[in-house]
Amino acid sequence: MKLPKGFTPLYDPYGQFQIDTIGFGVIKNDAGLLLPVGKGKTYTAINICKWRIENSEVKKIIILCPISVMEKWKDEILRFSGHTSIILHNPARKKRIKLLNKFKNTNIIYGITNYEGLFPYFDYFKKIKPDIVVADESSRYIKNIISGTRDFSGRMKSVKRSEATILLGDMAKYRLILTANLINKPNDIWTQFRFLDKGKTFGDNYWAWRNHYFEQRDLGLYKKWILKEDKISKLRDKIYSLCITFDRKDIESNIPETIYQVIPITMSDSLKKLYEKIRVKVKSEIETEQGKAILNIQHIFTKLIRYQQFTSGFIKDEDNKIKDLKERPKLNAIIEEVESILDSQEAAIIWCRFRYTMKIIGNTLKKKGINYTEMHGGTKDKNIWKKFQKSKTSNVFLGQIVAGGIGIELFKLDSDIEYMHVLFAENVFGLDPRNQATGRAEGRIGQSAGCRVVDFIVKNSIDEKIYNSILKDEEIADSIMKDGITSWL
């Protein structure tokens, strides 16, 4: 495939795969760009929009994205298209409405907003009448109609968000979805495609689609919808009629390498005894709950978290108060690794599951006089990651996987380091958050630094179980059901 005739990007594409992606997006009115993190989803999407501005009388484009990357989109729109844009976000309602009206009534082409702001201000967005709607990180934000967490009114937050996204997409002439992983959960495919092509591929009825492609299986502790084997080929063909993706071999010549390493940690005899004490207690609780028929997979997850907290150096007592363990071999190993990385004048990104683990690590870094940038669910400044990315003196980023692992970029700018080091103190019970977190520092096109991913694994503990599931690309819930509850205790 070639670039459209007469079209010249402001910056040349890196490799044939980006040329193919731009060409595909121009040919298709609605397209899914399924490129890995850092491999040019934003670049190719902006160039597709640029071509449509020049050839299809496009006047208004709305970018839907995580709040943490709105500034990044603004910078890259200017860089790759030469167009200015406006961020349609402000905590104050009156100011946000003013921004929306400004976008509607001026010749600014690009408007950038977070997904959460779409539903509350939908009456203003629909008056804009966008020609193109781009949904960044679509698999995380356009969820199926029965998922989500309830807000104060009892309605599902993500359902509101998805409904508003679909309705806005219905108004546009062209739509793009951008995601590294379309199938985060198979059930979410329908919602993304309902946005993408207004139901042409998979219909308007979610329930009919689900019953056609999936069957429900009772796994004991929970029920799961499984893709029917005889429908796999059909589903794949329909997906890739509108989506483009590439094998790693098609792009790896253009990007730095990623290497993986495990640092094993051995518990002392005293820690082994404490761990065994917790194991016996949890096992007893599970056996009791099984007898009462109240056990489900979420109950199990809650109990497994206690194991994880122990390997990270703390426990919670019966009053839910945190108690520090006297021995913290994982903490010691992490700090030692960070010091070694800094001695090599390179940068470290530490991912944690628990805020308290971040506190433990952060306090130790402070005592040692090590500067670091921190980002977790309570961090108000969602752009604080840029401080780490641009800083010449702060080479440690300490983040919570579920808060900082989405949409941000942590590779160092203007640096000649050989590797970015991604250190996992803990993992969460899901593959996608880990992949997202790793992708924040993996080699981008145009970078020379590779990525080194390190897991700190306490031997003969829950850490090994979770890590082995990750290696098998297996969801923790499925692994528990396959191997049995007892094997995880």
Segment 368-382 mean pLDDT: 85
Q: Provide the pLDDT confidence category of residue 136 given band limits of 50, 70 and 90.
A: very high
Q: What is the pLDDT of residue 149?
A: 37
Residue with tokens 């603004």: 74
**Confidence grade of residue 354 (pLDDT, cut at 50, 70, 90):** very high
Give the model's pLDDT for residue 391.
80
* pLDDT bracket for residue 181 (50, 70, 90): confident
| Mean pLDDT of the region 45-74 | 93
Beta sheet of 61-65, edge-to-edge order: 85-87, 110-114, 61-65, 132-136, 174-178, 30-33, 243-244
Taking only the tens place, the pLDDT of each residue in 307-337 is: 899 999 999 887 889 999 999 999 999 999 9
Average pLDDT over residues 363-391: 85
Render pLDDT for 238-277 as a digit per residue (tens, 0 to 9): 999 999 998 766 776 666 778 889 999 989 999 999 999 9
Nearest to 35 by CA among 50, 20, 49, 47: 20
* pLDDT value for 443: 58
Which band of pLDDT confidence, cut at 50, 70 and 90, is reported for residue 153? very low
Q: Which residue has the higher pLDDT, 352 or 431?
A: 352
Q: Which domains does the chain have, with CATH numbers?
A: 16-254 (3.40.50.10810), 258-263+328-458 (3.40.50.300)
DSSP letter (8 states) at residue 444:
P
Our CA dihedral for 309, 310, 313, 316, rounded to 10 degrees, sits at 70
Place 390 in a pLDDT band, splitting at 50, 70 and 90.
confident
Q: How far apart are CA 63 and CA 470, in angstroms?
A: 33
The answer to which of 2-16, 71-85, 360-374, 406-420 has the lowest mean pLDDT is: 406-420
Between 52 and 292, name the one with better pLDDT.
52
Give the pLDDT confidence score for residue 338 in this predicted structure.
Answer: 93
pLDDT value of position 38:
67
- 261: helix, strand or coil: strand
- Check residue 100 and give its pLDDT: 98
Question: Which tokens go with 384?
Answer: 């604080």
Q: pLDDT band for position 483 (50/70/90)?
A: low
Please state, rounded to an integer, the average pLDDT across all residues of the chain. 85
pLDDT digits (tens, 9 = 90+) for 278-297: 888 888 877 776 655 445 66
Q: Is the pLDDT of residue 175 over 90?
A: yes
Helix, strand or coil, per DSSP, at residue 427: coil
Comparing 144 with 209, which gets the higher pLDDT? 209
Please indicate, yes or no, whether the overall pTM of this predicted structure exceeds 0.85. Answer: no
Half-sphere exposure for 41 (CA within 13 Å, toward CB): 28
pLDDT, tens digit (0-9, with 9 covering 90-100), for 18-31: 999 999 999 999 99
Residues 45, 22: Cα–Cα separation, whole Å: 7
Of the pLDDT bands very low, low, confident and very high (cuts 50, 70, 90), residue 302 is: confident
Question: Of residues 380 and 117, which shows the higher confidence score?
Answer: 117
| Three-state secondary structure call for residue 264 | strand
Query: How far is CA 185 from each of CA 142, 181, 330, rounded to the nearest angstrom?
Result: 11, 9, 32
Q: Which letter does DSSP use for residue 40 in this model?
A: S
| Range of weakest confidence among 153-157, 365-369, 422-426, 467-471 | 153-157
Higher model confidence: residue 95 or residue 36? Answer: 95
**pLDDT attached to residue 76:** 93
Give the pLDDT of residue 69: 80
Beta bridge partners of 315: 323
Q: Which long-range contacts (CB under 8 A, 24 or more apart) does 364-367 make?
A: 364/331, 364/335, 365/335, 365/338, 365/396, 365/398
Assess whether pLDDT exceeds 70 at residue 447.
Answer: no
